[in-house]
Every structure is written in C-alpha cells, then in structure tokens.
Amino acid sequence: MRDVAVVGIGMIDFGELWEKSLRTMWAEAALAALTDAGVDSVDMVTIGCMSPGLFAGQEHLASLLADELGMAGVPAARVESACASGGLALRMAFAEVAGGLSDTVLVTGVEKMTDVDGADATFALGTAADQEWEGFHGITFPGLYAMLAQVHMQRHGTTSEQLAAVAVKNHANGLLNPHAQYHLKVSVEDVLASTMVADPLHLLDCSPVTDGAAALVITTVERARELGSERPMVKITGSGLATDTMALANRNDLSQLDGVRLAAERAYAMAGRKPEELHVVEVHDCFTIAEIMTTEAIGLFDPGFGASAVDKGLTSLHGKIPVNPSGGLKSKGHPVGATGVAQVAEIATQLWGEAGQRQVEGATIGLAQNMGGSGGSSTVHILEVAS
C-alpha cells in the first residue's frame, strides 16, 4: 500500500442555507479544497451523501456534481452509509490512492436537509433504522438513542446532568468555530430545561437538522511533497470500517457500540497506534449519549467511565484528550452526508496547527469517528503528522 496524505480541505458554513442548493453548496466546498491543495485536476471524486432523493429530489449525484465542476469524464461515485456516508467516502478514496488506482482524489460530503418539512426530514433520517422492526412501530432516532441512554444509565449510573455536560462542552467549542451552525453558549440547566424529546434526551441533547458540505483532497505522499506546501505532512495512517446489527433488539449489549469498537480496533491496528497515543479526537455526537458511548468504544475510557470523564474535564478543549474541538455535530451541525468529511477536515486543521482559538496544543496524532444510524455502521480514521 502507498502512503496517503491530506493536502487540502474545504468547508462552507453549516446551517439553514435557504439560498443555496445541494450542487452550489457542494461546488463551493469542493473548489475551496482544490484551491487549498493547489491542484486543478483529480483522478477521481467521491461523494458522501445519505439521501439526496428524499431530501432534495436529486439522485445520480456522481454525474451531476462532476459536471458541476467541469469534470465530466472523471470517475465519480456517490457513497452511502447513512450518517457515516462521509467517512465511507474517505475510506473509498483512501483505498483508491493507497492501492494505486488513483493518485489524487477529491473527497466530498454534502446534504441539503432543510428543503423539506420536519416530518419529511424525520422520515428520511428514519430510513437509516430497521424499517420492518423499528420504523414500522413508530420509533425515531431520538427514541433509539434514548433507549441506549437508558441502558447506559441503568448499567453505569450515568446521569442526565452528565449528558448535558457534553452539550455544554461542545457548544463552548462551537463558539470558536466560524463554520459552526450554532454559536450558542449553554449551561447544564439550559439543557435540562429544554423540551424533553425522548426520555432522557432533551432538545439540547440532540444535534440539529443542517445544510452543509465539506471536502478534502488526498494524494500520495510523493505527490504531496511535489506540491511544496509549507504545512506539516499529514498522513492517513489508519482506516477502519465495521457494521453492527441495525435493529437494537438484535444486539448483545445496548450499553456498548460494537461496530464502533471494531472499526477503531482495525484503524489502530493499521496505524500501529493505541488510544492513549491520541492527542485530539472528533466523534459522532448526534446525541450527547453517543459521544459518551463512542469515547468508550474507541478505547479512550473504560466502559461506564465516558460520562465521568466529561465531568472531570478530561475531554474539554484543554483536557487530557480533547473531544470534538470543532463543536461536534451538536454545535457545528450535522448535514449527514458531510459530517464524516468535516470531522477529518477538523483533525487535519488541528494537526496543521491552524485551528486558531480552538487549537489543541502540540497535536500530532488525531482520530475521526463517523457513525451511521444507531451505530449500525462506523468508520474510524487515524491521521498523524509524518516524522
């Protein structure tokens, strides 16, 4: 396998972008990444997008979006794995470059979610659950994650206040991210006073519906050197992918996310790294309980200790292992197909030392974890500054 480097990133501001279409958001992020990398052509384009047909009435994104950049003829592929679509788009591109099929790939993620009403958005997102065994009976994703939270609370003593502390931390980080959907400081009291969505999850425990796009340019280390950037060389050293049962009823233990754990183990093995070597982490906090369970699954904390770690400030911006310095899905926003790409863009920014007020001092090794549905699929990527 060839070594693979990230040489450019592009992001647009996330939010309710009424004036922008799916294609214009995507093109803006893609062009920004190409400009940042200093390249004007690529060998392939990958597009992470969960449900453009239901959200925007547009399928066949590979042809549409390659043409939007004037790249008709270039190989392109839309990749789908629910909310892990962006992470899988990177995994596919990484394999292309590492395996020698392509030298330079434009990796993108996009979702236009606000052109439909709330009921239609809920339906579209619900397709990432088991329709026969879950959706048919009326369960939605807040309900599914509420069940995970209830089990975690019963098994480990996790409290609603600890869930709220995740939202407080991530909104504090989001205040420092110009691309974040919400620049909003919240307190534990604010979270607990917000509307109950699915017990124990309040409205401020949930990530928002978001429009957005993000992009990366990845290439071989040799090509990266030829580009002559003054930035540190940031390599993708580990890539892990795994699935779990989609229906929660079929899982052995609802207090753990086995798909995330397996993806992380595979990424660590490829990179030759251990959790304790990480300096900065982005995880899929679609709900506050998801961050707690994910930090346990990727090995940052033992089962049951992810919540107390937040209490102790271990995952804060200046803590032992900063988690979601971008603000996470909770504050930055969650345009589902774009999220996995945006997470890796944040890690690259941190490793380049370009994160400004949210910079994690001395970060040279980072991890990004992206998750589909209630953990039915997960990608994990490890990035590090080349020695």
Residue 124 to residues 25, 31, 104, 267, Cα–Cα distance (Å): 20, 28, 33, 30
Euclidean distance between CA atoms 387 and 384, whole angstroms: 9
Helix %, strand %, coil % for the chain, to 5?
A: 40, 20, 40
Amino acid identity for residue 284 in this structure: H
Active-site residue, from 83, 156, 171, 179: 83
Active-site residue, from 171, 202, 284, 334: 334
Euclidean distance between CA atoms 156 and 302, whole angstroms: 11
Residue 206 annotated as catalytic = no
Which residues are paired to 218 by β-bridges?
6, 105
Closest to 171 (Cα-Cα) out of 334, 289, 15, 331? 331
Residue 338 to residues 37, 85, 290, 298, 334, Cα–Cα distance (Å): 19, 8, 18, 21, 8
Residue 83 annotated as catalytic = yes
* Inter-residue contact 166 to 285 (CB < 8 Å): yes
DSSP string, 341-359: HHHHHHHHHHHHT--GGG-
SS3 state at 79: strand
Closest to 148 (Cα-Cα) out of 287, 284, 245, 260? 287
Strand runs labelled E in the chain: 4-11, 44-48, 76-79, 104-111, 196-198, 201-202, 212-220, 234-243, 280-282, 365-372, 377-385
Residues identified as active-site: 83, 334
